[in-house]
A = this chain, B = another copy of it.
């Protein structure tokens, strides 16, 4: 069976077998979406967010690109920035997950740029993870750099998230939470960054290891700034 035939059969199966089992849900969704989170993941074929989280359709507003990158907010804005703005402002999403994964081809490419020869667009894109590469180069291990880079990259992209006005406004208001996850293909385990412990811990071992909740009271509420 050719690849696309297999996919076409899946489309038929979805309509004939999957939808009828939950017709109510699908009918309701035809009228609109109310996702509970924005999920930013790698385009890698093995890390489908809906699979890993067993989410129903309608639950995750999903942005996927090579390397689960979040460019910082700026003038040359693109698809990820638009997805963030739309999720937060139009859909009212208040939880954002950035999810990296083991064996990531994008992260491997950063460590071995020669593998990306002839792919200038990929290299330019992965420049948004340059900050993670430099952190690992300067401080990381001499072996297993890939694992360190996957984690640092998630943290770097969380830092980038904070530069987006829609995100920053809600972080300051204390009603948004950012989550940094790494999914291990070998163990199927998801580990989340715990801001208290300053490290990644298995998801579920604690309540919700939020990376960022409320940053601080802003000046206006303290009433103690002077001109």
| Contact among B43, B89, B119 with A119 in the assembled complex (CB-CB below 8 Å) | B89
Within the complex, the shortest CB–CB distance from A133 to chain B, in Å, comes to 7
Q: How large is the interface on A (under 10, 10 to 19, 20 to 34, 35 or more residues)?
A: 35 or more
When all copies of this chain in the complex are counted, the total is 6
A76-101 residues with Cβ-Cβ distance < 8 A to B are 76-87, 89-91, 95, 97
In Å, the complex CA distance between A163 and B121 comes to: 13
A35-82 residues with Cβ-Cβ distance < 8 A to B are 35-37, 43-48, 50-55, 57-66, 69, 71-82
| Contact among B51, B66, B217 with A50 in the assembled complex (CB-CB below 8 Å) | B51
In Å, the complex CA distance between A26 and B101 comes to: 14
Q: Is the pair B26, A188 in contact by a Cβ cutoff of 8 Å?
A: yes
Given contacts A80-B79, A137-B169, contact A185 B53 (CB under 8 A): no
Within the complex, the shortest CB–CB distance from A158 to chain B, in Å, comes to 10
Q: Is the pair B208, A5 in contact by a Cβ cutoff of 8 Å?
A: yes
Q: Is the pair A32, B103 in contact by a Cβ cutoff of 8 Å?
A: yes
